[in-house]
Amino acid sequence: MKGHLTERELIEYQFKLASEGLAERMAGHLQECGKCRESLERLKQKFAALDLLREDFEVSEDLISQVLEQVSEPVKSKVVSFRRPAWIGAAAAVLLVGSLLLVAQLRKSSGPARESVRGPIARQDVAQPAPAYKPLPMERKPFGKAAKDEGRGAVEGLAGVRKRGLAEEQIPEQPPFAPASAIELVVLPRRENVQITIYNSADLTLVRERRNLTLKKGWNWLQFMWANTLIDPTSLHLEPLEQRDKIDIQQLVFPARLRELGRWLIRSEVGGQVPFEITYFTSGLSWRAFYMGTLSADEQKMKLQGYVRVANNSGEDYENAQTRLIVGQVHILDEIAKLARRQYPYGSPLPRAAGIGGRDYAWGLREEDREKVPLLGDELLVGGLFRDAKRFHRKEIRKEGLSEYFLYTIEGTETIPDKWGKRLLSFEEDEIEVKSLYKYDEERYGQQTIRFVSFANDEEHNLGKTPIPNGDVKIYGLADREGHLSYVGGTGIKYIPVDEEVELNLGPARLVEVEPTLMGFKTANYVFDRNKDIAGWDEIRTWKIEITNTRTLAVEIEITRSFGTAYWSLKANIPYEKHDVTHARFKLTVEPRSKRTFDYTVTTYRGVREEALTE
Amino acid sequence: MENTDKSLIDAHCRGEREAFGQVVRRYGGSLLGYLTKMSGSRELAEDLFQETFKRVHEKAHTFRGGRLGPWLFKIATRVALNGLQRRRRLRVVSLDQQLDCAEGRNKESGAAAVADNSCEPSEEVIRAEQKEQVRQAIELLPEKQRAALVLAYYQQLSYREVAEVLGCSIGTVKTQMYRALRTLAQKLPDVSGETK
């Protein structure tokens, strides 16, 4: 090889990136060339730093069980591909056509079809084979074309809603008896969209989901299951979003012996697909906010990013959910999780009739609490929840209530599977002007300097659009010119309303030190009483305060000194302010990498000498 | 006798829950290490870890035998690259990474120094700083380069296996690897503790 190995060649040699022939030639050269061997050694030393990250990672049992939890569904069956002879295709086509003809023949000869739709919450097909099926009263008297239409069921739904007047067909006025089995049920289809509103303070989440239900004209039963979830069955509410004048939600029943399911009775004057909104409360969803601030190099500006972490332990997956978060206290009467786990949504069905139509929501509550039931705003918020409860006093907290807490909406939609947590960016603001201040106050912080960063949640600071919820803040500074960050400090913040100022305590600052030294102490001006006993005196202390700033930036520092008495006077070689009756405060700036010293002499008055100060 | 990877995956396909647990335990550590280095954040890595095994579960029937490790890394890489693309905005300013680092630094400078009397606390601090520099240097690499480096260097996969995982040729892997090393050579701290 000619000349010495280049850095590229050395890297290629060391990491076996070169071809075999080239590697052999390089090895030969290295045997002969001491300089290249030295270069290689240096390179090895350089890359030895990579081994600092060579560490064993242990997977916690929690994480393993979370993984196993999410894979509890059966594995998809294996698909084996094979070459199909041409005759298989032909045979399949013949079979398909034959089957279609057979189905068409059967449809003509049989009565109305039943719904068999998979419901995501039910997670099972609830429609059962029905050998002993008896048509409901309305179905015993089919009216010509209407009977045919009813028989089409979901097929008709795909074609859209058909509007037909009552004059054309009659719907029996008497609702059918609540089915004890799952025959003749409409089961919830997949969600079209879902919105979740998490009230963190009360372990309460309002879920509003939209589903397209296929109804037949007449009476429909709709089944909703909440097994293994934390849904509060007493809060279930169903509302058609179209054809409201032709669809009436009559009642919600909780059949005895069938646990964790409810059935709505719906009277519909139209047949076909209708969008519905289902609202309910659940628990198990929570969120927390946290923030990251990055200070600019001169520490005059800060970039602030707010995050929320949403955790879902509700037992239900929420796909593509619009997520809204409520900050503030919500008053609730019952824990949703307890309601969800009750055997009967409204207590045992035996002594009294169950269902929202049969009793009001405040059943079982103390008398004084009945008036406190919050509706969490208006129909907009809860989709008209509890509208049927006429005795209910609708609290006038809609507007006022909203001023008590604040609603955050996460942009776009998010999928939050059960047992998962998800971190979302809630806001990001650049160029927030901040003020750095160091404080030294032995009474509050001991003998250490504490660093503070302050800013305001207002427009002047590029904020002020919304209040900032409670959360932890971590502040980082730029460690070098390449943009690497270094951790400066962290603290928790409480709810910051708009236009309020916030001061973040970032903890002890090691690079700015304050060292007070007592330079002199004497007593003077003794006063004696009649008995020649001491009745008063002055104590005079001289202090030297030395501030050391080893940072590369000038710092502003506030030093608070306590005198332990309200009777004191002070002489200092720098300005000070009387902070309160027993404290004085000095504010000064210390240049980068420098020391600054000041002195003060404080005289405290004891006994009758206290009067000398007032005089 | 220890079950082979293939027998475990087959058992899982038959619905034996314990088999999947064994796979997670067998490969979990190295996968979590890989995802942590790829994402720069332990918390994010745990999210990706769960997502990876979810996909492994869904795709279990497509495993044709051979070494399970590269197959798992292939899935993990797709999950990580997708996940990181979505969180690209977070990458530079990853809070958790900084948190991890900050916590790690504290732990090392405090607890480790006390536990290991042979090391001066100052050395521990320097070591933690160096570790942090290495972590940041790797995090700043483009994703493909980072994946090649982590798989080949830390996970000890051959270049052929890395190529299989990343779905590219061996030549491409070597190019990515060289570029990653060239960048790192400028950014890695010296053993003396100084950075260029």
What is the per-residue pLDDT across A357-388, written as a single tens digit (0 to 9) for each?
333 333 333 444 333 333 333 333 333 333 33
Lowest mean pLDDT among A163-177, A252-266, A294-308: A163-177
Is B97 within 8 Å of chain A by CB?
no
What percent of chain A lies above the pLDDT cut of 70? 68
Q: How far apart are CA A483 and CA A573, in angstroms?
A: 42
Q: Kindly state the greatest CA–CA separation across chain A.
A: 131
pLDDT of the residue at A151: 35
pLDDT of the residue at A562: 94
| DSSP letters spanning B49-80 | HHHHHHHHHHHGGG--SS-HHHHHHHHHHHHH
Q: How far apart are CA B188 and CA B196, in angstroms?
A: 8
Quote the radius of gyration of chain A (alpha carbons, Å). Answer: 38
- Which residues lie below 8 Å from residue B48, measured CB to CB, with a gap of 6+? B35, B38, B39, B76, B79, B80, B83
| DSSP letters spanning A430-450 | EEEE-EEEEEEEHHHH-SS-E
pLDDT of the residue at A449: 95
Contact A12 B178 (CB under 8 A): yes
Distances (CA, A) of A367 to A370, A371, A392, A396: 5, 8, 13, 19
Using an 8 Å Cβ cutoff, are A394 and A413 in contact? Answer: no
Among the listed residues A198, A148, A187, the one whose alpha carbon sits nearest the alpha carbon of residue A169? A148
User: For residue B108, is it left (φ>0), alpha (ψ between -120 and 50) or beta?
Assistant: alpha
Neighbour-count burial for A503-522, b at 16+ CB within 10 Å, e otherwise: ebbbbebeebbbebeeeeee
Work out the burial of residue B90: count CB atoms within 10 Å of its CB; fewer than 13 is exposed, 13-18 middle, 19 or more buried.
Answer: buried
Answer whether residue A598 shows pLDDT above 90: yes
Average of pLDDT values for A461-490?
83
Answer whether residue A390 shows pLDDT above 70: no
Answer whether residue A229 shows pLDDT above 70: yes
Of A191 and B113, which is predicted with more confidence?
A: A191
Average of pLDDT values for A124-131?
33
- Taking CA–CA distances from A290, the nearest residue in chain B reads B95
Q: What is the 3-state secondary structure (H, E, C) of A338-354?
A: HHHHCCCECECCCCCCC
Compute how many other C-beta atoms are within 10 angstroms of the C-beta atom of residue A276: 23
What percent of chain A lies above the pLDDT cut of 90? 22
**ipTM value:** 0.76
Contacts 24+ apart (CB under 8 A), A227-230: A227/A123, A227/A259, A227/A260, A227/A261, A228/A315, A229/A121, A229/A282, A229/A284, A229/A314, A229/A315, A229/A316, A229/A340, A230/A282, A230/A283, A230/A284, A230/A313, A230/A314, A230/A315, A230/A336, A230/A337, A230/A340, A230/A341
Tens digit of each residue's pLDDT (9 = 90 or more) over A240-261:
998 888 898 888 888 777 777 8
pLDDT band for A469, please (50, 70, 90 cuts).
confident
Contact A420 B29 (CB under 8 A): no
pLDDT of the residue at A541: 96
Contact B178 A11 (CB under 8 A): yes
Tokens of A405: 């807490």
Beta-bridge partners for A606: A537
* Tens of pLDDT, residue by residue, chain B (196 residues): 456 778 888 888 887 778 888 888 888 888 999 998 888 888 888 888 988 988 888 888 888 777 888 889 999 998 888 887 766 543 333 333 333 333 333 333 333 333 444 445 667 777 788 888 888 888 888 888 999 999 999 888 899 989 988 888 999 999 999 999 998 888 888 755 444 4
Tens digit of each residue's pLDDT (9 = 90 or more) over A94-105:
777 766 676 655
Counting one residue from chain A and one from chain B, the pairs whose CB atoms sit within 8 A come to 147
Mutate to test the interface with B, among A52, A58, A60, A415 (most CBs of B within 10 A): A52
Tokens of A615: 């005089």
Distances (CA, A) of A290 to A204, A296, B106: 20, 20, 21
pLDDT of the residue at B95: 34
Q: How far apart are CA A420 and CA A321, in angstroms?
A: 14
Answer whether residue A152 shows pLDDT above 60: no
Tokens of A514: 């304050």
Q: How far apart are CA B54 and CA B72, in angstroms?
A: 11
Contact A63 B49 (CB under 8 A): yes
Answer whether residue A48 shows pLDDT above 60: yes
Mutate to test the interface with B, among A69, A75, A77, A303 (most CBs of B within 10 A): A75
Q: How far apart are CA A577 and CA A170, in angstroms?
A: 89
Contact A71 B46 (CB under 8 A): no
Of A465 and B121, which is predicted with more confidence?
A: A465
Answer whether residue A459 shows pLDDT above 90: no
Tokens of B37: 């280095």
pLDDT of the residue at A184: 60
Average of pLDDT values for A294-306?
88
Q: Alpha helix (H) ranges present in A33-85?
A: 34-48, 61-70
Average of pLDDT values for A312-328?
83
pLDDT band for A590, please (50, 70, 90 cuts).
very high
Q: How far apart are CA B23 and CA B18, in angstroms?
A: 9
Using an 8 Å Cβ cutoff, are A332 and A401 in contact? Answer: no
Phi, psi values for residue B47, rounded to 5°: -60, -45
pLDDT of the residue at A583: 95
pLDDT of the residue at B100: 38
Is B112 within 8 Å of chain A by CB?
no
Contact A294 B93 (CB under 8 A): yes
A57-66, A230-239, A420-429 — most confident range: A230-239
Answer whether residue A506 shows pLDDT above 50: yes
Tell me, what DSSP letter sits at residue A138? H
Is B71 within 8 Å of chain A by CB?
no
> Token pair 């009739």 is at which residue?
A353
- Which residues lie below 8 Å from residue B133, measured CB to CB, with a gap of 6+? A49, A484, B187, B188, B189, B195
Answer whether residue A154 shows pLDDT above 60: no
Of B39 and A353, which is predicted with more confidence?
A: B39
| DSSP letters spanning B87-134 | THHHHTT-HHHHHHHHHHHHHIIIIIHHH-TTS-HHHHHHHHHHHHHH
Among the listed residues B155, B45, B150, B32, the one whose alpha carbon sits nearest the alpha carbon of residue B91? B45
How far is B82 from chain A, CA to nearest CA, in Å? 15
> Token pair 């079982």 is at which residue?
A364
pLDDT band for A32, please (50, 70, 90 cuts).
confident
Compute CA A594 distance to the chain's CA centroid, rounded to the nearest angstrom.
46
pLDDT of the residue at A594: 95
**Sign of torsion, CA B73 B78 B79 B84?**
positive
Tell me, what DSSP letter sits at residue A182? S
